[in-house]
């Protein structure tokens, strides 16, 4: 049976699009069964509708606390009985309750080579630090923000004259490759998190996960 994937978004949804495209391939081991946004005007909702995937909006502004918002979010997500929950540009900090509820089946994509540059403005920070390499990480989500164990990282060279925007574009090309890759591994039951470490095909991965170079 195909792995049921719920995708959470807040914006453009280009990573969602990469997942929808991968799910549309013949023999894809997963299907996107729901897309949930905290913003009603997120373009990703249009992408989902065009792919025939049910969408819903849970607006954080309608809730008085993070806890009540996250419980409403869980209720909405669980309607589609997902095997995996994928954060794809979902710009809310999640509560420990939420993270525990989806323990081992919640993944995120973060535009840096974690553990470097947790949080925002990663491309700008990498350029300011004079890094020669930057990149993106798909990781399991744990209670530490951007701190869960990496599954796969794509390393992207920093080029002379790069701006945060140019670098972000080059990184996004890799995002759209490694996110469907990680979801496919999970769907094929090749990927697990145990004791904050990641196993792929029964082998413990190094702390940075699988690394690919652009
Ligand atoms: C991506 O850059 C991702 O790394 C970060 O948020 C952005 C989402 O972009 N977590 P999109 O909405 O998938 O286009």
Q: Is the pLDDT of residue 1 over 80?
A: no
C-alpha 11 – ligand 1 centre gap (Å): 8
Average pLDDT, rounded, for the chain? 97
DSSP H helical segments within the chain, as ranges? 14-23, 43-50, 66-78, 96-101, 122-128, 164-187
Catalytic residue (one of 110, 123, 139, 176): 110
DSSP H helical segments within 79-163, as ranges? 96-101, 122-128
Same domain? 56 vs 137 = no
- Which atom of ligand 1 is closest in space to residue 14's alpha carbon? 14
Structural domain total, the chain: 2
The number of angstroms, rounded, from the C-alpha of 112 to the middle of its chain's C-alpha atoms is 13
Select the more confidently predicted residue: 50 or 144.
50
Q: What is the pLDDT of residue 154?
A: 98
Whether 71 is catalytic: no
Same domain? 92 vs 5 = yes
Question: Residue 179: which CATH number?
Answer: 3.40.50.170
- Strands in 106-110's sheet, in edge-to-edge order, are 55-57, 30-37, 3-9, 84-87, 106-110, 133-140, 150-157, 210-213
Looking at 80, 102, 124, the residue that finishes a domain is 102
Same domain? 97 vs 54 = yes
Q: Is the pLDDT of residue 206 over 90?
A: yes
Looking at ligand 1, which residue's alpha carbon is closest to its atom 2? 111
Looking at 102, 126, 158, the residue that finishes a domain is 102
Find the domain containing 4 and state its range.
1-102
CA distances from 134 to 4, 68, 101, 116, 200 (A): 32, 36, 32, 9, 24
Per-residue confidence band for 214, with pLDDT thresholds at 50, 70 and 90:
confident
pLDDT in tens, 123-155: 999 999 999 999 999 999 999 888 999 999 999
Q: What is the pLDDT of residue 14?
A: 98
Looking at 44, 77, 102, the residue that finishes a domain is 102
């Amino acid at each position: 049976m195909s792995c049921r994937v719920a995708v959470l978004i807040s914006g453009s949804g280009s990573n969602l699009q990469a997942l929808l495209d991968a799910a549309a391939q013949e023999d894809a081991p997963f299907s996107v069964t729901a897309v949930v946004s905290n913003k009603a005007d997120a373009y990703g909702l249009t992408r989902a509708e065009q792919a025939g995937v049910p969408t819903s909006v849970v607006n954080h502004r309608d809730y008085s606390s993070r806890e009540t918002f996250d419980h409403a979010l869980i209720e909405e997500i669980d309607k589609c009985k997902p095997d995996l929950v994928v954060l794809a540009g979902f710009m809310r900090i999640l509560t420990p309750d939420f993270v525990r509820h989806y323990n081992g089946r919640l993944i995120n994509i973060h535009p840096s080579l974690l553990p470097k540059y947790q949080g925002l403005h990663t491309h700008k920070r990498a350029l300011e630090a004079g890094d020669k390499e930057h990149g993106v990480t798909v990781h399991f989500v744990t209670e530490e923000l951007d701190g869960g164990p990496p599954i796969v990282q794509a390393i992207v060279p920093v080029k002379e004259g790069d701006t945060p925007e140019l670098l972000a574009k080059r990184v996004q090309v890799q995002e759209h490759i490694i996110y469907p890759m990680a979801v496919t591994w999970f769907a094929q039951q090749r990927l697990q998190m145990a004791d904050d470490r990641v196993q792929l095909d029964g082998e413990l991965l190094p702390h940075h996960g699988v690394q690919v170079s652009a």
